[in-house]
Amino acid sequence: MPEAPNRAHQVMRRRRAILLPPTLALTFFALLAFLIACLILFRTGSQVAGYDYFSFHWNFWWTRRALSTPGLELFRTDFVFFPSENNLAFHTLALAWYPLWAVLEPLIGTLAAMSIIILVAVTLNGWAVYAFLRTEGAHRALALVGGAAFQLLPILRYFTYQTHLNLLGWFWLPLHLMLWRRIAALVQARRDGRVFALALVQGVALWLLLLTDQQLPLFLALVLGPLALVSLWASSRRAALVAAGLLAVAVGLALGWIAGPLPYLVGEVGGFAGGDVEARPGIPFPDGFLSMDGEWWRWDRPSLGAFVPLAVLISALASPWIRPRPARWRWFWFAVMLPPLVLALGPTLRLGGLAIPLPYRAVYALSGGLFAMPWRLGPLAALAGLAFVALTWTPLVSSLPARRLAPVMAVLMLALAASLRLGEPGPLSPAPAEYAFYTDMGAETCPGCDEYVVLEVPTAVGTGEVLLGPPDAIALQFHALRHHKRLVNGFLARAPVANYWWVYLDDPMMAWLGQRRPLEPETVAAQLRERVSGWPIGYVVVHRDLIEADGPTQQEIFAFLNAQDDLLCPHTSEGSAAVYRTRWHPLGCALRMPPEIAPGVYELNIGAPGDFGHIGAGWHRPERIFDAAIRWAGHASEATLWVDLPPGEYRLSLTAQAFHEARRLRVRVNETLLDGEVEVSADGLTEATYTIPAGALGDGRRVNVALIYDGSIVPAHVEHSADPRALAIMVDRVRFARIE
């Protein structure tokens, strides 16, 4: 009996040596991570990984804002889906990564900081599995292959190329397994002081696991639970081991309550997937275990690739003939592999015409839809399976001389790289535009400038399960990192449907601004009036590139917003964005005057980016013909403009050309029909001139100029063209010259 502690001490010394920072191995996994994520790194600033990238950038911005602003709660916010208050305890904040982002972002910007975080996460995923396999007794060469195989799993690469930081934290699982192994060994060696210290460390690690993603503690239970039970059965100091485990759990729960989401989970319900369980994708059998899907970067195409499943199968079949005999302990990891593997298959196993219901159905029902993606358990099965494989072949590999081991390693690495297509990156998306006006909003220091809402058009909202409206409009949440304001648009995982559904169809104003419901002018005007001062709304930003250009919707939006002069004023235009400031805004509104090109001469360049604030009904999208910016009129029986001018008498002149046949053109200013009718030629530009009496202009505010023409023609009806628009006249410029 006295020798047992010495043997245990020798085991601990060996494991401590294994856990010393293996610089060479870490370098190997960093290089492999670079190969996996190199496209993300090289395209930083111009492209981003996946659709969900904006949510994680916003997460970290919000964390910094909440922690640095008195009165804000980290896990409750109305900065998305305003005015709904949202519980972020169900949202994937990935808070464990925040400290690294907080250090990097001020130095290199948020896009570069996120790329570095991805590289670190992918590196740790491989290195942690390597270290875990070494602590289990695997040969160093097999542990290296195992870590690389885990890094290259198609599912983990999907998380990489979707910027799913919450699900790039798989390294926490092998780290927890190693921590528990050390605790069990220290308990057996009666090193109670170190047991206490390490239990505290594991408690902190449990807290960090919870902060990474709410699902990870449940994933951990599937592997750490069996290991804890076996350790307890094998220990001669079971009470001490139970006490150490309870201490770790207590520390994790306490930290999760004091500095985590646990208080916000009590009595709250998130919005989970719901619906038919058959719609939840599992790893297809056998295809998902024999090959890597051609579009592995899609959430509905999960696969493990052939390397790990075939390695497990070959190891199981070859076990009886391997000499020297492998340790029986490996079968424990084989057994641990089976539950997550079965769950990862999804709700139904289909073998030919046979459909076999699987246990995932019960898990889906019991969790209320929390486990909506059963294939996410695939890496868990792979982790246990790699332990089984490495321990199975370690005795044989350990007996090989270096000259024979080197070619074996080379073949394994080549097979791994080929089967999991190492050189194949996922697709990237264009990085969001850097609009200066958002930065200007964030720099405003006026009283009340921190409290308003930025209303993005088109309106759209989303959760992890459903996107309602244009997906790119949901991603406008990213710009909060620059303007620092509340939004209606946005994305929150597991948000209750009541927090966002109203934006989609129920609300006349929000649904119309998202092109999902016809305009109800009086109702929408009343809602806008109430919200401009009540929420309040500071700016309305119309993203023209996200709204159909050739249809009537975009021009209907501009015509309606320009008619609300008592509520909105055009502020600026940049790229494809047109910005209105509300008259509530403390910095006020400028007059809607065309540029003054000479004393008393005001010219409106129709079709130029800044014309959006002057456009009323009847116009089509802006176009360019050679160097000229123009718009076609003809959508309605007249095309209207809105301008502000100093009071007085004016000469109005405009340059226009008719489509297909000449048009008779008259002009009305406010309620006054101007004298004269001009024939606009279809063969070239016509200069049309009218006189505006001072009485027609009034005080010069909210002047409505209507161009009235005698008809329009659809190009598709008269020539070889697919253009479905009704065209009357093309207008290049409109000039107002004051008559002294």
Give the DSSP per-residue string, 28-69: HHHHHHHHHHHHHHHTBTTEEESSTHHHHHHHHHHHHHHHHS
147: enclosing H helix or E strand: helix 140-151
pLDDT tens readout for residues 693-714: 999 999 999 999 999 999 999 9
**Strand pairing of 490-491 and 461-462?**
parallel
Encoding tokens for residue 213?
């993603």
pLDDT at 17: 46
150 vs 89: CA distance, rounded Å: 29
176 vs 187: CA distance, rounded Å: 16
Q: CB-based burial of residue 627 (10 Å sphere; 0-12 exposed, 13-18 middle, 19+ buried)? A: exposed
- Tokens 């975080």 correspond to 117
CB atoms closer than 10 angstroms to residue 278: 11
Residue 581's beta-bridge partner residues? 539, 569
pLDDT tens readout for residues 9-28: 554 454 444 444 567 899 99
**Strand pairing of 628-633 and 729-739?**
antiparallel
Q: Are 612 and 604 in contact (CB under 8 A)?
A: no
114 vs 53: CA distance, rounded Å: 9
Q: What are residue 619's phi and psi, to 5 degrees?
A: -100, 155
Verify cis geometry, omega within 30 degrees of 0, for the bond prior to 622: no
305 vs 552: CA distance, rounded Å: 48
In order along the chain (740 residues), what is the average pLDDT of each group of 10 residues? Answer: 45 46 84 96 96 96 96 95 94 96 98 98 97 95 96 97 96 98 95 96 98 94 96 94 97 97 82 74 94 93 96 95 88 97 95 90 82 92 98 94 90 95 94 96 90 96 90 97 97 90 95 94 97 97 90 86 94 94 93 94 93 93 88 92 96 95 96 95 94 94 95 87 90 94
Encoding tokens for residue 702?
């909210």
Q: Is 407 helix (H, G, I), strand (E, B) or coil?
A: helix
- DSSP per position, 259-270: SSSHHHHTT---
pLDDT at 353: 82
Residue 655's beta-bridge partner residues? 687, 733
209 vs 671: CA distance, rounded Å: 69
Side chain identity at residue 518, one-letter code: P
- DSSP per position, 499-537: GTHIIIII-HHHHHHTTSS---HHHHHHHHHHHHHHTTE
108 vs 100: CA distance, rounded Å: 12
pLDDT at 276: 82
Q: Which residues contact 233 (CB under 8 A, 6 or more apart)?
A: none
For the chain, domains (ranges, CATH) are 23-169 (no CATH), 171-267 (no CATH), 271-399 (no CATH), 432-590 (no CATH), 593-740 (2.60.120.260)
Q: CB-based burial of residue 414 (10 Å sphere; 0-12 exposed, 13-18 middle, 19+ buried)? A: exposed
The whole-model pTM stands at 0.91
Q: Which residues contact 448 (CB under 8 A, 6 or more apart)?
A: 536, 586
Q: Is 685 helix (H, G, I), strand (E, B) or coil?
A: coil
pLDDT at 369: 72
Q: Are 149 and 298 in contact (CB under 8 A)?
A: no
C-alpha to C-alpha distances, 318 to 322, 387, 389, nearest whole angstrom: 6, 16, 11
